[in-house]
């Protein structure tokens, strides 16, 4: 009997430009219209986009931030010791990972949450070969608790896991449809980039991802695709090479 985990890849898989992708989602993307916590309608909508990509035959893994619940850097600025604040932020990412797992499995998509901080009663510990095997079996793997170390962001975690999983690309789902030279929400004259090199992102301090994440992607030749997580179907369109996004790679 064919199960969701063993079903053959879709015939449409050949239309994909990228076949193994890591999607980085900020914690703030899960807020919906709220100011704090998790909006489950938003989580379900993103989950449906992820499942649609799996149904096309792509192998998918996720890294979700924790800023909708707690941000380590913000905690440190109000007098909390940075390492402790970062650990609290890592635990917030586990909460978001479990919310996404629930939404995905509710629509029939098998998943596994793997945490860099062992918590066996909640999820599996992160083991690279196990994560690879889960993806090969058609499960969406959700990486939680960052790298397990303070002072590293979830952006850096995303670049690290993308390299470890041998992903074709790293997608960053944001609030806008690409990279701009200034915040387009507050600057009507902001210029959008279709393509940038890793060096340009670093040299212009464009704040797409932190410098460690950009450097890791460059060292491993992993293109970064920045798109709007709020546009339905955008994830699949970007993997096909037809979606609106900014591509960050080696450049010309």
pLDDT number for residue 6: 46
Given a cut of 80, whether residue 20 has pLDDT beyond it is yes
Task: Give the 3-state secondary structure of 127-195.
Answer: CHHHHHHHHHCCCEEEEECCCCCCCCCHHHHHHHHHHHCCCCEEEEEECCCCEECCCCCCCCCCCEECE
pLDDT number for residue 248: 98
Continuous segment of H or E residues that includes residue 64: strand 59-64
Write down the CATH number for the domain with range 14-249: 3.40.1160.10
Mean pLDDT confidence for 147-160: 96
Q: Give per-residue pLDDT as tens, 196-228.
A: 999 999 999 998 999 999 999 999 999 999 999
- pTM to 2 decimal places: 0.90
Mean pLDDT confidence for 75-99: 87
Cβ–Cβ < 8 Å for 125, 118: yes
Alpha-carbon gap, residue 24 to 158, rounded angstroms: 6
Alpha-carbon gap, residue 98 to 215, rounded angstroms: 29
Sorted by where each begins, the domain ranges of the chain are: 14-249
- Assign 5 a pLDDT band (cuts: 50, 70, 90): low
């Amino acid at each position: 009997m064919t199960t969701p985990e063993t079903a053959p890849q879709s015939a449409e898989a050949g239309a994909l430009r990228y076949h193994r992708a890591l999607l980085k989602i900020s914690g703030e993307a899960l807020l919906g219209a709220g100011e704090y916590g998790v909006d489950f309608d938003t989580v379900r909508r993103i989950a449906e986009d992820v499942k649609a990509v799996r149904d096309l035959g792509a192998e998918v893994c996720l890294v979700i931030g924790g800023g909708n619940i707690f941000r380590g850097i913000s905690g440190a600025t109000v007098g909390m010791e940075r390492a402790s604040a970062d650990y609290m932020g890592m635990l917030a990412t586990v909460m978001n990972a479990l919310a996404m797992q629930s939404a995905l499995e509710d629509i029939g998509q098998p998943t596994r949450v793997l945490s860099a901080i062992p918590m066996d009663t909640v999820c599996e510990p992160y083991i690279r070969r196990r994560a690879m095997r889960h993806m090969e079996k058609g499960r969406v793997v959700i990486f939680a608790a960052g790298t397990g170390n303070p002072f590293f962001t979830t952006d850096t975690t995303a670049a690290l896991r993308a390299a470890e999983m041998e992903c074709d690309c790293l997608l960053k789902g944001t609030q806008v449809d690409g990279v701009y030279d200034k915040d387009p929400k507050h600057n009507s004259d902001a210029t959008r980039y279709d393509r940038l090199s890793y060096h340009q992102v670093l040299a212009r301090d464009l704040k797409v991802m932190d410098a460690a994440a950009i450097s890791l992607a460059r060292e491993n030749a992993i293109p970064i695709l920045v798109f709007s997580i709020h546009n339905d179907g955008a994830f699949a369109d970007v993997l096909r090479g037809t979606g609106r996004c900014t591509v960050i790679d080696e450049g010309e």
